[in-house]
């Protein structure tokens, strides 16, 4: 019951915060994240009142299933951006930009943090520097998708942005696995090709295969139903199913591998949107169904942010170096590759800004980074928590402004807003009069 109460309170707090942030023309995702911070263990949760905020981070972690399912729906929706007719136009550009900007961010962060390690090896070890460089590749698809949906952004930049964000997951998995293998080798003195190359490639292959099989089955099963309501329910059930199957892990002849839920659900959406003639309508219905789920997801994400990291000056310094060089790597990596692939000036100028948000995927990598042992694992997590706090609060606003500057978010004309306000004001007296007449009618009828 406490978990349900926390979900309800989180959703209500997030929705009320959007009303406040709407006055400042800030994205809803930022409002949800701030609401999460305010009702989290660092603020309102300190009161210790059950159901009134999250008293502990364990209470937040108890709702991880909601976060996992929400990320599944986000990936499923992004799969819709991989329609074959669209990929024929932008697929080459998205692939080159997606790989180049991710690797560029990794290299720049590696150079900067290894330089920091040379100056202060007592504060930052080489394995931690290399691991942080790999995590720098990841971009948060959730915040980006939320901004695109809220403002109904459309255009060349938007059509390139979502596939690139999705590709970040695959590129990030490979780069992280290789870098993390090197980091562990520096500690142990032995390198394993299995953990560095075989396991990440196997995980990507298995994830795409599972998603493709699930998408094919879903497409076949949809033809058995004639009601859009039942078809939508079937679609939602398959997202839940693929998220749950993605938690499985296997070990065969010493090789450990599993699935990436983001890749599995993305492939599910890709196969479904390309082979089901009803995919447009059904994916739209699934998006509308998942909106409250995504709102709770972002509030939970805000509650997970640990503001205590600001109390460690040297950690903040390393975090600032990480944020600065990752941002430079993402921006100029996107700028150079977009220019090299013949993108329009607006894409070249603004794409890099939209790739800055970072959250769930990076935090997932932090869990693996705990394997560094000693104080290195917690250090990686705290630095990433600091960067996520900054990126998630600032990133959505920067994404919105970049899309707006590119002309892919159009504000409602002032005259339309004023006309709606006048119409609403004129309707209110009429509605009051109708209620008054209805009450008089009931009085006389007695």
What 3 state SS string does 293-340 have? HHHHHHHHHHHHCCHHHHHCHHHHHHHHHHHHHHHHHHHHHHHHHHHH
Q: Which of 245-259, 300-314, 323-337, 422-436: highest mean pLDDT?
A: 323-337
DSSP 198: I
Convert 17-30 to b/e letters by CB count within 10 Å (16 or more is b). Answer: bbeebeeeebbbbb
Q: Positive or negative, the Cα torsion across 229, 234, 240, 243? A: negative
pLDDT for 423 equals 56
Round the average pLDDT of the chain to a whole number and report it. Answer: 81
DSSP conformation letters of 130-146: HHHHHHTT---HHHHHH
Mean pLDDT to the nearest integer, 84-96? 80
Is the Cβ–Cβ distance between 298 and 36 less than 8 Å? Answer: yes
Mean pLDDT to the nearest integer, 404-426? 62
Q: CA–CA distance from 149 to each of 66, 365, 418 (Å)?
A: 20, 27, 24
Mean pLDDT to the nearest integer, 429-446? 55
Q: Which two tokens stand for residue 199?
A: 């396991």
Mean pLDDT to the nearest integer, 292-304? 83
Given the DSSP bridges, would you call strands 249-252 and 255-258 parallel, antiparallel or unpaired? antiparallel
More confident residue, 422 or 371: 371
pLDDT tens per residue across span 188-237:
665 666 666 777 778 888 888 999 999 999 999 988 888 888 998 999 99
pLDDT tens per residue across span 122-153:
888 888 888 888 888 888 777 777 788 888 88
More confident residue, 57 or 269: 269
pLDDT for 215 equals 92
First-to-final CA distance of the chain:
46
β-sheet bridge partners, residue 250: 257
More confident residue, 335 or 388: 335
More confident residue, 178 or 131: 131
414 pLDDT band, cuts 50/70/90, is very low
354 pLDDT band, cuts 50/70/90, is confident
Residue 26 has pLDDT above 80, yes or no: no
Q: Which two tokens stand for residue 52?
A: 């009134």
pLDDT for 194 equals 65
Nearest to 250 by CA among 194, 210, 199, 176: 199
Mean pLDDT to the nearest integer, 296-315? 78
Share of residues in the chain with pLDDT > 90 (%): 14
Residue 367 has pLDDT above 70, yes or no: no
Nearest to 79 by CA among 288, 234, 275, 342: 275
Mean pLDDT to the nearest integer, 25-47? 83
- Structure pTM? 0.74
53 pLDDT band, cuts 50/70/90, is confident
Q: CA–CA distance from 280 to each of 62, 148, 215, 380 (Å)?
A: 34, 17, 15, 41
Residue 415 has pLDDT above 50, yes or no: no
CA separation for the pair 383, 316 (Å, rounded): 7
Nearest to 132 by CA among 71, 176, 70, 173: 176
Which residues are CB-neighbours of 54 under 8 A, at least 6 positions away? 6, 39, 40, 41, 45, 60, 303
416 pLDDT band, cuts 50/70/90, is very low
pLDDT for 107 equals 93
444 pLDDT band, cuts 50/70/90, is very low
CA separation for the pair 145, 78 (Å, rounded): 8
| Lowest-confidence segment of 48-52, 92-96, 219-223, 437-441 by average pLDDT | 437-441
Residue 97 has pLDDT above 60, yes or no: yes
């Amino acid at each position: 019951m406490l978990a349900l109460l926390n979900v309800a309170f989180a959703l209500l707090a997030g929705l009320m915060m959007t009303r406040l942030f709407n006055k400042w023309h800030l994205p809803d995702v930022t409002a949800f994240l701030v609401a999460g911070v305010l009702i989290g263990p660092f603020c309102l949760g300190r009161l210790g009142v059950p159901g009134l905020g999250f008293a502990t981070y364990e209470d937040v972690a108890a709702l991880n299933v909601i976060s996992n399912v929400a990320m599944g729906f986000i990936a499923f929706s992004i799969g819709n951006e991989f329609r074959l007719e669209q990929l024929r136009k932008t697929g080459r550009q998205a692939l080159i930009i997606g790989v180049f900007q991710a690797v560029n961010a990794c290299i720049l962060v590696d150079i900067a943090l290894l330089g920091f390690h040379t100056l202060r090896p007592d504060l930052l070890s080489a394995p931690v520097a290399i691991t942080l460089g790999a995590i720098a590749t990841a971009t948060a698809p959730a915040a980006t998708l939320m901004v695109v949906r809220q403002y109904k952004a459309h255009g060349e930049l938007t059509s390139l942005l979502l596939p690139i964000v999705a590709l970040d997951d695959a590129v990030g998995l490979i780069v992280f696995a290789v870098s993390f293998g090197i980091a562990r080798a520096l500690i142990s003195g032995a390198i394993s090709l299995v953990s560095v190359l075989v396991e990440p490639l196997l995980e990507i292959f298995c994830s795409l295969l599972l998603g493709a099989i699930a998408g094919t089955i879903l497409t076949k099963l949809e033809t058995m139903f004639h009601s859009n309501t039942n078809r939508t329910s079937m679609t939602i059930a398959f997202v839940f199913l693929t998220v749950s199957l993605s938690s499985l892990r296997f070990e065969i002849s010493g090789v450990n591998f599993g699935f990436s839920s983001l890749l599995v659900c993305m492939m599910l959406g890709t196969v479904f949107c390309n082979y089901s003639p009803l995919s447009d309508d059904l994916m739209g219905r699934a998006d509308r169904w998942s909106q409250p789920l995504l709102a709770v997801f972002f509030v939970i994400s805000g509650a997970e942010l640990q503001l205590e990291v600001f109390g460690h000056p040297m950690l903040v310094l390393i975090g600032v170096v990480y944020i600065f060089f990752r941002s430079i790597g993402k921006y100029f990596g996107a700028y150079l590759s977009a220019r090299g692939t013949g993108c329009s000036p607006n894409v070249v100028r603004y794409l890099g800004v939209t790739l800055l948000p970072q959250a769930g995927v990076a935090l997932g990598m932090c869990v693996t980074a705990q394997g560094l042992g000693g104080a290195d694992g917690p250090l990686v997590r705290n630095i990433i928590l600091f960067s996520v706090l900054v990126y998630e609060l600032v990133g959505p606003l920067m994404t919105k402004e970049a899309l707006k500057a590119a002309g892919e978010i159009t504000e409602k004309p002032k005259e339309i807003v004023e006309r709606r306000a006048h119409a609403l004001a004129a309707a209110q007296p009429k509605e009051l009069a109708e209620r008054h007449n209805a009450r008089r009618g009931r009085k006389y009828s007695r």
